[in-house]
Structure 1
Amino acid sequence: MVFLLFSLIILFFLELILGSVSIPCPEIIRILSGQGSSHDSWEIIVYNFRLPKAVVGLCAGAGLSIAGLFMQTLFRNPLAGPDVLGLSSGAALGVALVVLTAGTAGPSSILADLGFFGNFGIAIAASLGSALVLMMILVLSKRVRSSMTLLILGLMFGYTANSFISILMHFTLAERIQAYTIWSFGSFGGATWDQIQILVLFTMFAFVFSIFLIKDLNVLLLGDQYAESMGLDLIRIRNKIFIITAVLSGVVTAFCGPIGFIGISVPHLCRAIFATANHGILLPGCILFGACLALIADIIASVPGYSITLPLNAITSLIGAPVVIWIIFSKSRAGMEVSV
């Protein structure tokens, strides 16, 4: 855990140092301490571009990792996650209803016109879209016992949400379609400081709320029947997990775009690193490791030394897809189905 915390600090500074223009670490420290810089342009780059990206990366990586951990615990399925279950697609639909039906360009310009309450509006719209998909999955989970079937249903919900988005794009203006398409690539650099305040507020609420669920999550690992015999109210705990997951996946998707694979891969990597299923260890581990992985992906996507930026989703897929493949093969070698 100490190593992850130390790595997170290093990666945070690397996010501020590396880019199309390299800024020395002593200059970064001077800028953050309020002493200014020998180059005015460096101070603008750090405060207006790189520092917001770093803060958003921290919140997004940690939030998606916790959402993935909760989904895998609730469904007891190693492939469960915000993007696989269609939660990210539901959140994207909520954003699309705002971006494609109001405003003149992308989320940033729309919310700049709407102000602080507009930031809340798009976060709430994305959270409601994510919550709608998760609610349908939870309703079906009472009738469908197979977790693999629930995953397939989640994928179908995701496809349905994407279909509605495609229909909206067909009837909207070209500049709005372009703005939404760029947003869908995923990025930590598109949020303003007002939006970052909302992102931090929502994620901190979810983090604090998650601490009180550690004991219940550990009991859930033993099965629903055992949990009920221990006096655990399954409906209550499911609703709490439902709220946290919907808020995290919704607000991250609203301001960063649909970021894939972090929510699936990080919980498994943490289980392998800490060799435990105790959520008292996995929860802070996922927060730190998810933030580290998000910053690594963003540093790679920024292509240090060049004036180009790669789609963030492409980088997270390159990192996360091998982890999913490893999960499937490890389960197969152990003689277990992936849906167990």
Structure 2
Amino acid sequence: MTALAVVPVAYRRRALALLAMTAAVPSAFALAVTLGSTPVPLGEALAALIRSPAAHPAVQEIMWTVRLPRAITAALAGAALAAAGVQMQTLFRNPLAEPYILGVSSGASLGVALVTTGMGGAAGAFTAGLAGLGKASVVVAASAGAAAVLALVLALSRRVHSVVTLLVIGVMVGSASVSVITLLLVYTDPQRAQQFISWGLGSFAGTTWADLALFAPVGLAGLGAALAGVKPLNALLLGESYARTMGVHVRLVRTLTLLVASVLAGAVTAYCGPVAFLGLAVPHVTRLLLGTADHRLLMPGVILLGGATALLCCVATQAPGSGVVLPLNAVTTIVGAPVVVTLLLRSRAARTGLAV
């Protein structure tokens, strides 16, 4: 009788947690479009968004040109990184795994570094520096770098049977890319090096509707693929041997999971820079809030919480009312790390020594 009484409590807790996460997304979105260097009342913001004749033209311009694209970018990027983080942590059975662990972000950064420093051969002829690139060329450079690393990792994954070995290979590829970037920055003009460093701090701002016309479909398709792949991920929770006994084609699932997670992480890096923390931390917080590792609940949960968290970080970077813009990665880490550590320490899993 006691066991039966506990089950509804667990279900209610998960339902309430998912409901709270769902409500957090529009709430955080509202904050993202109303708060900034110049706060805009919610009523005026809504009037501008629906293009009401009573809306002030300047407010309409701010909403449609800056804040709405920025908020959509933040929500999509946060959801994508959180979903990719869950996939990587499950695939490698490692709580420290995150979307960039296989070097996709480092490859994207290397592509941007080559173009920024003007040392990329054909890329150097394409442009003289980041100032003359425009957003599209930065995206192309980042996408090409991420795609190159992804292709290398996928090729190696077909020859590697152990996910641990693949994880080590990914870390080595990322480390090698970072080393090349360091050498490029040492021998380049300080102004160009500073431009690359600024890009590396991450930002949800500056995304246009033209950017979203490509970023949004790729991100939504990746999220759809992540949601569709929750069943084999549940089987992998108990190990690859168990998954095989359940009829899961482990190598195919591994390849598809790597592909989806890398595409999500690569797309975010291309448009927002290498955004830290979200892909690592949000999955852990979601597991604690839901009290389960079942991907049928976990994946929708991380998508919702990832979007809401990124939106709140977007608000924090604008330092509302001050006119100061803070680096995104500084905000995501400084604000988020203490929250995650506190939740982990307060969780029963941490106190009893169980895995989260």
TM-score, normalised by the number of residues in structure 2 = 0.83
1:309 counterpart SS class: coil
Report % sequence identity.
36
Q: Contact (CA 8 Å) 1:73, 1:221: kept in 2 or not?
A: yes
Deviations 1:174-208 (A, max 9, x none): 44323211111110002222122221121111112
Q: Contact (CA 8 Å) 1:94, 1:128: kept in 2 or not?
A: no
1:187 pairs with one of 203, 207, 214: 203
Q: Contact (CA 8 Å) 1:105, 1:175: kept in 2 or not?
A: no
Residues 66 and 277 (structure 1), Cα distance of their counterparts in 2 relative to 1, 3 Å cut: same
Residue type matched to 1:256 in 2?
C
2:235 pairs with one of 209, 215, 219: 219
Q: Specify the alignment match of 1:24 in structure 2.
A: 41
1:1-340 equivalence runs, <5 A: 1-36=18-53, 38-101=55-118, 102=124, 103-106=127-130, 110-111=133-134, 121-122=140-141, 124-132=143-151, 134-135=153-154, 138=157, 142-143=161-162, 147=164, 154-322=170-338, 325=341, 333-335=351-353
Residues in 2 aligned to 1:36 and 1:141: alpha-carbon distance in whole angstroms: 62
Residues in 1 aligned to 2:138 and 2:179: alpha-carbon distance in whole angstroms: 25
Structure 1 unaligned regions, length at least 5? none
Residues 130 and 24 (structure 1), Cα distance of their counterparts in 2 relative to 1, 3 Å cut: farther
Structure 2 unaligned regions, length at least 5? 1-17, 119-123
Residues in 1 aligned to 2:323 and 2:312: alpha-carbon distance in whole angstroms: 18
Residues 321 and 190 (structure 1), Cα distance of their counterparts in 2 relative to 1, 3 Å cut: same
Residues 22 and 209 (structure 1), Cα distance of their counterparts in 2 relative to 1, 3 Å cut: same
For structure 1, which segment, 247-256 or 27-36, has the greater mean C-alpha deviation from structure 2 after superposition? Answer: 27-36
Q: Contact (CA 8 Å) 2:108, 2:141: kept in 1 or not?
A: no
Residues in 2 aligned to 1:261 and 1:309: alpha-carbon distance in whole angstroms: 19
**Rg larger in 1 or in 2?**
2
Residues 99 and 195 (structure 1), Cα distance of their counterparts in 2 relative to 1, 3 Å cut: farther
1:265 counterpart SS class: helix
Residue type matched to 1:13 in 2?
A
Residues in 2 aligned to 1:295 and 1:226: alpha-carbon distance in whole angstroms: 38
Deviations 1:56-83 (A, max 9, x none): 1011100000110000010011111024
Query: What is the root-mean-square deviation in Å for CA atoms of aligned residues?
Result: 2.8
Residue type matched to 2:92 in 1?
F
Q: Contact (CA 8 Å) 1:104, 1:176: kept in 2 or not?
A: no
Residue type matched to 1:208 in 2?
G
Residues in 2 aligned to 1:37 and 1:203: alpha-carbon distance in whole angstroms: 35
Deviation of 1:262 after TM superposition, in Å, equals 0.5
Residues in 2 aligned to 1:106 and 1:58: alpha-carbon distance in whole angstroms: 26
Residues 192 and 97 (structure 1), Cα distance of their counterparts in 2 relative to 1, 3 Å cut: farther
Residues 298 and 33 (structure 1), Cα distance of their counterparts in 2 relative to 1, 3 Å cut: same
Q: Contact (CA 8 Å) 2:104, 2:146: kept in 1 or not?
A: no
